[in-house]
Structure 1
């Protein structure tokens, strides 16, 4: 079982890296295609909605200090119904891990290594993630701190070089969007990436102090950062080009040329994506392993973590191509996330209040 502890700063870095893990790379093109010059506004209201939803999670965590969401399910709803809900959460963590690793495989196969079988990318990366998860949350947090600095400096380097292509004329026609229609079309942004942070309810018990503040701060900073990235993409590529590119950030870096010295810098953005996916996938994979160990009372997580490599790599092949993945995200993902991000937490909170009304005391931390 997990015994590690992380600081409030480490938790903030994990939340920030988790939310931007794949969204900064895969989200801008779709947002710009739907909202045009106003696409940078969409992450702001989506992040605000996610903050309101996350208050339910924080309230639930306060009712059960020292417990993860899997443990809360069995305490609040009983062993049978609560165990079923906990198992659904574990399934979600596994499914989300499969979606994340598939994003990595699609990118590597389409842009860098088209002749390599996609399963090779999945298994090789999952082996690294599995090792990190076996080592525990402290190891993941320390690695994230180091990688966070590398990613930030690399991204700032790309940002300042690409500003030479900036053109304010590309924002002409701003503030003309149909607010309701735009919110409806882009509701999936609330699900991916913001409501995916329900995974972090598996980490609250391992934060030494100020975990809730770090969580909220991480969501706010990630929201502002995603909005800035979309704004930057519009200013450099323009609406037409950005909306027709699957990976607009990759295109921006690919076209950077400074004399004959700085050329073909696309490997830098690939490095950023790999590090970001490592952070995000580590947390979802860790949540799945920890949830299984807590639900079935397993003391050794090593074999559980190793076994999940086969399951997740197999589930990652559920889509035939990247277009099917995008169609699933746009058509069903928001409603899918409502179940785990809103319905189940609200139900657990309601059951908790009902128990308190009947005279049961607030649950204390586990011994």
Structure 2
């Protein structure tokens, strides 16, 4: 295992930044229109269940990463095979984040610039951060996440004069199904992705704090995203919220007197870089554990290059990316976020019960 360590506070900041990632500009809850707040709350509660699932699994396998847990529960062959599937999922997630940033930049700021330029430029920062080490990602989150929170508080306050409480109405006019569907999508992106932090757990210097840190960071990150959803809905209204590709950008542009839109760009870069770093670090650590390699850094460049290439292939346009995010990604994520974790919990509990029985 790596000797790199991060503090509980740094882990908390990484989790918050990870949740914000691309969700700062794209949030599937907006598909529920005026019930976006309800869809988000449903997602938040559902994600809390998945968080408890991950924490419980970690408690049953102390000091082990996701790879070790999978091997304990499924055996060496199947455990490693499923671990490699998770490695693919993490790389795919990194590619999605890279493409989101590149699409945002070419849509709202630099429409004449090639998409590949932003993907490569963004990835160079990721490569540098991972080459230096996961500790650097922790320190970066420690410094910049409070700045992101301050920006969100400022934009919410500055938008108060443009808000209309009537945009929350009519409540549940189309029934429960549309907000529940949008809520499930939001649960899988980003809350259900917390399972990736089982690959980061061995880096925590005080692992007893994992549960407390994770829950607190989850609540703070959820509050931030809920604030963003409510702010955008109150300012833009249900129809415009659902139509706009990047509603947060429109809200930033509507703030009077000063142009604060560049702050959204900065926030997206910071949170997106952290999320991409975690995805690629987790996949690199996973691969070296599966194949018995010594240093994950040798994989950083090829994995990042592969993620950039994948990001250029997975989507044809911004509209297609939004459609796939809403319709396909939640289904695609079910095995990784729900089915396999549930199987791990059941098998872990059975193994623990059998172990206790054999001792007696």
TM-score normalised by length of structure 1: 0.91
Aligned residue in 2 for 1:11 = 11
Aligned residue in 2 for 1:153 = 150
Q: Aligned equivalents of 1:265 and 1:348: distance in 2?
A: 46
Q: Aligned equivalents of 2:351 and 2:44: distance in 1?
A: 32
Aligned residue in 1 for 2:212 = 213
Q: Aligned equivalents of 1:231 and 1:212: distance in 2?
A: 28
Determine whether 1:272 maps to 2:267: yes
C-alpha contact (below 8 Å) 1:40/1:231 kept by paired residues:
yes
Q: Aligned equivalents of 1:137 and 1:232: distance in 2?
A: 33
- Superposition deviation, residue 61 in structure 1: 0.9
- The structure-2 alpha-carbon separation of the partners of 1:361 and 1:217, relative to structure 1 and needing over 3 Å to count, comes to farther
C-alpha contact (below 8 Å) 1:41/1:227 kept by paired residues:
no
Aligned residue in 1 for 2:254 = 255
Q: Aligned equivalents of 1:233 and 1:196: distance in 2?
A: 24
Q: Aligned equivalents of 2:330 and 2:223: distance in 1?
A: 21
- The structure-2 alpha-carbon separation of the partners of 1:359 and 1:148, relative to structure 1 and needing over 3 Å to count, comes to closer
Aligned residue in 2 for 1:326 = 322
- The structure-2 alpha-carbon separation of the partners of 1:59 and 1:168, relative to structure 1 and needing over 3 Å to count, comes to closer
C-alpha contact (below 8 Å) 1:161/1:256 kept by paired residues:
yes
Partner deviation per Cα, 1:301-350 (whole Å, 9 max, x = no partner): 22210111221111101211122222222222222221011211222333
Q: Aligned equivalents of 1:348 and 1:52: distance in 2?
A: 15
- The structure-2 alpha-carbon separation of the partners of 1:354 and 1:257, relative to structure 1 and needing over 3 Å to count, comes to closer
Q: Aligned equivalents of 1:210 and 1:345: distance in 2?
A: 21
- Superposition deviation, residue 353 in structure 1: 3.7
Aligned residue in 2 for 1:189 = 186
Higher mean displacement: 351-360 or 328-337? 351-360
- Superposition deviation, residue 295 in structure 1: 1.4
Aligned residue in 2 for 1:365 = none
CA RMSD of aligned residues (A): 2.0
Unaligned runs of at least 5 residues, structure 2: none
C-alpha contact (below 8 Å) 2:44/2:191 kept by paired residues:
yes
Aligned residue in 1 for 2:29 = 31
Determine whether 1:129 maps to 2:126: yes
- The structure-2 alpha-carbon separation of the partners of 1:201 and 1:187, relative to structure 1 and needing over 3 Å to count, comes to same
Aligned residue in 2 for 1:243 = 242
C-alpha contact (below 8 Å) 2:16/2:145 kept by paired residues:
no
Partner deviation per Cα, 1:39-62 (whole Å, 9 max, x = no partner): 112111211111112222222111
Aligned residue in 1 for 2:57 = 60
Aligned residue in 1 for 2:140 = 143
Q: Aligned equivalents of 1:136 and 1:248: distance in 2?
A: 34
Unaligned runs of at least 5 residues, structure 1: 363-367
TM-score normalised by length of structure 2: 0.92
Q: Aligned equivalents of 1:278 and 1:106: distance in 2?
A: 15
C-alpha contact (below 8 Å) 1:71/1:295 kept by paired residues:
no
Which of 95, 104, 107 is the equivalent residue of 1:107? Answer: 104
Aligned residue in 1 for 2:339 = 343
Q: How many residues align?
A: 355
Q: Aligned equivalents of 1:179 and 1:173: distance in 2?
A: 13
Q: Secondary structure at the match of 2:245?
A: coil
Partner deviation per Cα, 1:119-143 (whole Å, 9 max, x = no partner): 1111111121112112222111111
Q: Aligned equivalents of 1:354 and 1:174: distance in 2?
A: 44
- Superposition deviation, residue 358 in structure 1: 4.3
Higher mean displacement: 185-194 or 352-361? 352-361
Aligned residue in 2 for 1:284 = 279
